[in-house]
Amino acid sequence: MALYDRVALIGLGLIASSMAHAMRQGGLCREITGHARSAETRATALEIGLCDRVFETAAEAVKGADLVVLAVPVGAMGAVAAEIAPHLERGATVTDVGSVKQAVIDAVQPHIPAGVHFIPGHPLAGTEHSGPRSGFATLFKNRWWLLTPTDTTDPAALARLRGLCEAMGANVDTMDAPHHDLVLAVTSHTPHLIAYTMVGVADHLRRVTQSEVIRYSAAGFRDFTRIAASDPTMWRDVFLTNKEATLDILGRFTEELFALQRAIRLGDGDHLHEYFTRTRAIRRGIIEAGQDTSAPDFGRVAEGATTTGKVRER
């Protein structure tokens, strides 16, 4: 059943193309328009049927759309919002899929005209691939889609967007933006930084990298290399815009790493065993709770979080 008439996708990469596939498969909108900066991407979008019509400018793409999805890197959201603002339909909803929420709100909200609903969002689903050919219809199936409405968000517009996310297979939750940014700093942003660092360390040891690391690449390291192959522009923007929360979590990570380093140096097997037993229980708890293993445990993070986005000391 069509939930929107015309959906405009701004930026035609992994997330937008996955949304296009999912919306087409479910018949969730009547028409999809799109904008990408490169002629090659626009041609691809038409060739593989992501969009019915593509435009050279975002301004043209949003005309007549009742849903506009900003699917560009976080650092580009503000400029895109400024460009499309005068062309938005009264009553339309603008959402985004950025990995950071407060910075997107700060950049986009000032441009949103009266009578247009802005409901920030973030699907917790992705891969290390990017571009219009990387999307697939089931990307959002059984994954979280977080929306960060405010007290003034129109309930009907929120319910309609929630319906679309759910129809694409996602589980929807709402939270405020600072809390989102803290949770994601723990469950996504800092882990990505650690993966980038680990692969960087291996790369510095070129003597090893060129031969043994590749050949004997164990599952743990292979997982790191997959994560570290993620789009550099996207992740640069994530760290530049979720600075405070990431540095907060990174500080805690470093403290624990030093404690483990010290335990190894002192031969403190009890410390190591106790620590690994605790982390194993966390993983098992998530599985026993019947949660998608990719889904972060918001409750657990919330226990140590304050509304200012800072983590309370244990």
Ligand X SMILES: NC(=O)c1ccc[n+]([C@@H]2O[C@H](COP(=O)([O-])OP(=O)(O)OC[C@H]3O[C@@H](n4cnc5c(N)ncnc54)[C@H](O)[C@@H]3O)[C@@H](O)[C@H]2O)c1
Annotate the chain with three-state secondary structure.
CCCEEEEEEECCCHHHHHHHHHHHHHCCEEEEEEECCCHHHHHHHHHCCCCCEEECCHHHHHCCCCEEEECCCHHHHHHHHHHHHHHCCCCCEEEECCCCCHHHHHHHHHHCCCCCEEEEEEECCCCCCCCCCCCCCCCCCCCEEEECCCCCCCHHHHHHHHHHHHHCCCEEEECCHHHHHHHHHHHHHHHHHHHHHHHHHHHHCHHHHHHHHHHCCCHHHHHHHHHCCCCHHHHHHHHHHCHHHHHHHHHHHHHHHHHHHHHHHHCCHHHHHHHHHHHHHHHHHHHHCCCCCCCCCHHHHHHCECCCCCECCC
Q: Quick one: which of 188, 190, 242, 246 contacts ligand PRE (CB under 6 A)?
A: 188
Is 127 one of the binding residues for ligand PRE (CB under 6 A)? yes
**With CB cut-offs between 5 and 8 Å by kind, which of ligand X, ligand PRE, none does residue 11 bind?**
ligand X
Stretch that binds ligand X, among 109-117, 121-129, 149-157, 254-262 (CB under 6 A): 121-129
Number of residues that bind ligand X (CB under 6 A): 25
In angstroms, give the least distance from the CB of 119 to ligand X: 15
Is 76 one of the binding residues for ligand X (CB under 6 A)? yes
In angstroms, give the least distance from the CB of 69 to ligand X: 10
In angstroms, give the least distance from the CB of 294 to ligand PRE: 6
In angstroms, give the least distance from the CB of 1 to ligand PRE: 28
Q: Quick one: which of 106, 128, 154, 303 contacts ligand PRE (CB under 6 A)?
A: 128
Site for ligand PRE in 84-123 (CB under 6 A): 99
**With CB cut-offs between 5 and 8 Å by kind, which of ligand X, ligand PRE, none does residue 296 bind?**
none
- Residues at the interface with ligand PRE (CB under 6 A): 99, 124-128, 188, 227
